[in-house]
Structure 1
Amino acid sequence: MQFTLVPRHLVCVAAVIATLMPPIAAAESEGTPSRVDVLAKYRQECATCHIAYPRDMLPAASWQRIVGNLQHHFGTDASLDADSVRQISAWLSETSAGEAAARAAPPEDRITRSRWFRQEHAEVPADTWKRPMIRSASNCAACHTRAEQGNFNEHFIRIPQ
């Protein structure tokens, strides 16, 4: 009998794939969109106007209020069909057992008013947000060059002049 050593990272990748495949296959067989499809729909709908914010930036209750009131989405009508609302709402509510679940809902469910956001951006002078290339604290992609991929690592920050 011959054994082949498999690098540890490949074993981890295989384990993740094996874990994800049964729920995706089961969802597709029942006619329910997979998580991958719902994520794509979320990105398609939300990233039309702003980045598709990572779901762990807000607690589930905040996402429920936001998605439940899309006709008044921060001054804009961002209405979607009922099926899309239901799917995206359920996906956003599946917050992992991470920091988002423990976070208090920020005022008006605004990410930029959350305690963690203000702490992370405390050193940014108020006039920086008003620069033409930034315009607003909610324009993450203006400074976080990999925000579209959900990467907010400080190594990838470039603050426009």
Structure 2
Amino acid sequence: MTHLLNAGIARLLFGLLTTVGIAAPAMADNDRRAQPLPLLPKYQQECAACHIAYPPELLPAASWQRLMANLPRHFGTDASLDPATAKQIASWLASHAGTDRRATATPPDDRITRSSWFLRQHDEVPAATWKLPAVKSAANCIACHTQSDQGDFNERHVRIPR
């Protein structure tokens, strides 16, 4: 009974605070996090030419800096960009890099797929799945996360190829 009374009081208090505008910023922050960050058009154009344009919050700023500084040797591919484009993308990535607990630890080789949170999220995926012709590797998010090219990795949009 006390639990129900406390929950009712909390809802009433939240409603009052929202009405006077005190709780609105917290709600707005939650709404923003629910919406994928709109991608910088140049980032989308250049990076999505080879793979999905990964959401910048998946890596810390230091990882993005190293990746952008090593584009001629980008995981075995020359992904060089003209200096102005590289600077624009690097600046955008740094300003939107991950800061939450998911991105605090730098993953080995700055690979999103080797980060501890990625490994935890995908621990139930059998090794054989990564080798399927439609998947090829853990870096091919769109193979299973059908909305990942739009920044949506929600599990309700996951379809494992056969």
**How does the TM-score come out when normalised to structure 2?**
0.74
Q: In structure 2, the residue corresponding to 1:94 is in which secondary structure?
A: helix
1:9-158 matches, cutoff 5 A: 39-95=40-96, 98-99=99-100, 103-158=104-159
Displacement after TM superposition at 1:46 (Å): 0.2
Provide runs of 4+ in structure 1 moved above 4 Å.
none
Structure 2 residue runs without a partner (length 5+): 1-23, 30-37
Residues 58, 97 of structure 2: 8 Å contact kept? no
Q: Which residue of 2 aligns with 1:20?
A: none
Displacement after TM superposition at 1:61 (Å): 0.3
State the alpha-carbon separation in 2 of the partners of residues 60 and 110 from structure 1.
13
Structure 1 residue runs without a partner (length 5+): 1-10, 17-35
Q: Which residue of 1 aligns with 2:35?
A: none
**How does the TM-score come out when normalised to structure 1?**
0.74
Root mean square deviation, CA, Å: 2.4
Larger radius of gyration between Structure 1 and Structure 2? 2
State the alpha-carbon separation in 1 of the partners of residues 63 and 155 from structure 2.
26
State the alpha-carbon separation in 1 of the partners of residues 126 and 153 from structure 2.
19
State the alpha-carbon separation in 1 of the partners of residues 160 and 103 from structure 2.
30
Displacement after TM superposition at 1:99 (Å): 1.3
Distance 1:116 1:97, change over 3 A: closer
Q: In structure 2, the residue corresponding to 1:144 is in which secondary structure?
A: coil
State the alpha-carbon separation in 2 of the partners of residues 148 and 68 from structure 1.
24
Aligned length: 130
Determine what percentage of the aligned residue pairs are the same residue. Answer: 57
Q: Deviation per CA, 1:111-154, whole angstroms, max 9, x where unpaired?
A: 00000000000000111100000000000000001001000000
